[in-house]
Amino acid sequence: MDHAVVLFDGDCNFCDSSVQFIIQHDPAGYYQFASLQSDVGMEMRQKYGVPDDVDSLVLIKDGQAYVKSEGALMISRHLTGLWKLAYYLKPFPRAVRDGAYDVFAKNRYKVFGKLNSCMLPPPHIRKRFLDK
């Protein structure tokens, strides 16, 4: 099975919760993870040409980086349950989707705060994190 990599803001409470949510709804282990601030995250950002102003979520899949709403919608495709239906928001204009995404991302620290420490997942989940 192929894997995709989710790069996330390792300082953001909401992003951490999002990673936990993805893990919960990805029992097949399709997604692997790395924080944007890690060496692995920074290498992948450079390799796939992720713009510097993207600081919340990036999906690396099939040799391509998907950012903002595009990344979030692509992630939803591999989740269990009704969450995969979120992908059907893709026909909405990207400018509208990304505009809403940017407003949320800009305010995520104010609303959800920053992490003081990282969670330590159990070993079977820890192997999905590339920046150990």
CA distance 126 to 85: 28
pLDDT digits over 26-53, tens only? 999 999 999 988 999 999 999 999 988 8
User: Is residue 124 situated within a structural domain?
Assistant: no
pLDDT in tens, 76-104: 999 998 888 888 788 889 899 888 878 87
Q: What is the domain count for the chain?
A: 1
Is 125 among the domain residues? no
Residue 122 placed within a domain = no
**pTM of the predicted model as reported, rounded to 2 decimal places:** 0.81
For residues 71 and 59, the answer to whether their CB atoms sit within 8 Å is yes
Is the Cα dihedral 100, 93, 42, 46 positive or negative? negative
The answer on pLDDT for 116 being more than 90 is no
Measured CA to CA in angstroms, residue 49 lies from 64, 65, 66, 67, 75 at distances of 9, 8, 10, 11, 19
Give the domain range for residue 71. 4-115
Check which CATH number belongs to the domain holding 106 and give it.
3.40.30
Residue 127, domain member (yes or no): no
